[in-house]
Amino acid sequence: MTPPHRAPTYRAVLRVTGVPRFLVPALLGRLSYGLVSLALVLSVVHTTGSYADVGLTAGLFGLTATVLSPLRASLIDRHGPLLTLPPMAGLHGLALLGLTAVSWNSGGHLGLLAALTSVAGACAPPLGPVTRTLWSHLVPDRGLLQRAYSLDTVAEELIFFTGPLLLGALMLVGPPSAGLALGASLIVVGTAGLLTSPAARSLHTRRPAPTVRPTAQEWTEPDRTAPDTRHLTARGGFLSAVAVSAATGLILGSAALLNVAFAEQRGAVGAVVLVKSAQAAGSALGGLAYGALSWRAGARTRLALLGLALGGGVAAAALVPGVPALAALLFVVGVCGAPIITTAYLLADESVTAGYRTRAGNWVNTAHNAGSSVGAASVGLFLTVAPPGAGYPLVGAVLVVVSGAVLLAAGFTGRTRLKRPTEATASSATSSRRRR
């Protein structure tokens, strides 16, 4: 382990040439996502008054963004961000402006809302993945790159902390649809600033390298988007990361809508921005603390324990008496948010060979987004027949069950490994190779 006095610092990351120039506009554009998700929910509630409609539109936004994510990533890899991000950002911004107009007053047409939401999700520019690609391009040192990724994760949590507060300020002078309009402006301006940075332009000039072009044989391989088990060094670890990520996405997507209904039930729907900000603040603090500590338990065990804590905490929200208590609880529970996502990526990364780590991380991300979409759509229907307090234990139980299964599997795997030193030398050598 690197001695503490030699550990890379956040200051060293920010001093890398070109970082401030691309990072500031990238975070400005990503701030849109901290606004839009909650603004969309509140705007649909404002214009239709139906939580079933909210669940449908939120589900469509997440579903289109998730399902088409591999296609958008493929287009960026093939043609470069300079050619692909401008039309994505433009169409996404126009769709958000259309949603602003439709939902500004009550009586918005559901079909039009659903269509515009689908376009906004389908064209959402992946500024997060592009930012991480630029980090990797500019920071060759692995230790410094790890700190750069940590900085990026915490910054993203702060975005989801600041976004709801900004939306709350806008709602003092206008309807929640104003947040959609601001989100459209941020995504367009942020994308333009990112693409005019020297880092983005230098990345684009390196795209045509012939070594990245697929061969004729590679084009004929079946199902190239599915996980390739030949490159899994720890199948159980990879599947655990994907399963817990999906369950975490489901619980967070569900809780976002449950929180709105809970606050409205108590006549304080505007205070939901404080609830979401408290959860994001807890997640940011948890991420900083988690990254600063050394852990004896393996990533799979840590992931399961974090999932049990998050699921149990969300289930306990059924017992809180009001919005302030809910915000306090989710601040504490949110401490598990960033660590659970970080650990899922780490577990997936160590479960595959070096050439497939990006694909493994993409599966974790896709599972999380898909779970969030399913959760939002399901809870939207659930709220038409039951109060929000009844929903917290149900969604919490999903993550508890999945995490419990992962913990049991991790324990079984651990007991199996303890027996391996007594096996034949060839078997032991194979086991050692897989752990690397």
Residues 6+ apart with CB under 8 A from 240: 300, 303, 304, 347, 406, 409, 410
Identify the band that residue 431 occupies on the pLDDT scale cut at 50, 70 and 90. very low
pTM: 0.66
Beta bridge partners of 232: 352
Averaged pLDDT, 291-309 = 84
pLDDT at 419 over 60: no
What does residue 206 show for φ and ψ, rounded to 5 degrees? -95, -5
Residue in this structure with the two tokens 């809910």, named with its chain if needed: 326
Give dist(CA 188, CA 419) in Å, integer: 57
Residue 410: exposure state from Cβ atoms within 10 A (0-12, 13-18, ≥19): buried
Token pair 């902390």 in the structure block, residue: 161
Q: Which helix (H) or strand (E) holds 311?
A: helix 299-315
The percent of the chain in helix, strand and coil, each rounded to the nearest 5, is 80, 0, 15
Which has more confidence, 96 or 10?
96
- CA 147, 149, 154, 158 torsion: positive or negative? positive
pLDDT at 14 (0 to 100): 80
Q: Which two tokens stand for residue 145?
A: 């790159």
pLDDT band with cut points at 50, 70 and 90 for residue 424: very low
Q: Mean pLDDT: which of 25-29, 142-146, 156-160 is highest?
A: 25-29
Both tokens assigned to 137: 């391009």
Angstrom distance (rounded) from CA 113 to CA 96 = 10
Q: Regarding predicted confidence, which is higher, 230 or 93? A: 93
Averaged pLDDT, 107-133: 87
Cβ-Cβ contacts under 8 Å for 138 (sequence gap 6 or more): 16, 17, 18, 19, 199
What pLDDT does residue 223 have? Answer: 46
Report the percent of the chain where pLDDT is more than 70: 79
Using the 8-state DSSP alphabet, how is residue 352 labeled? B
Residue 352's DSSP bridge partners are 232
d(C-alpha 299, C-alpha 347), whole Å? 6
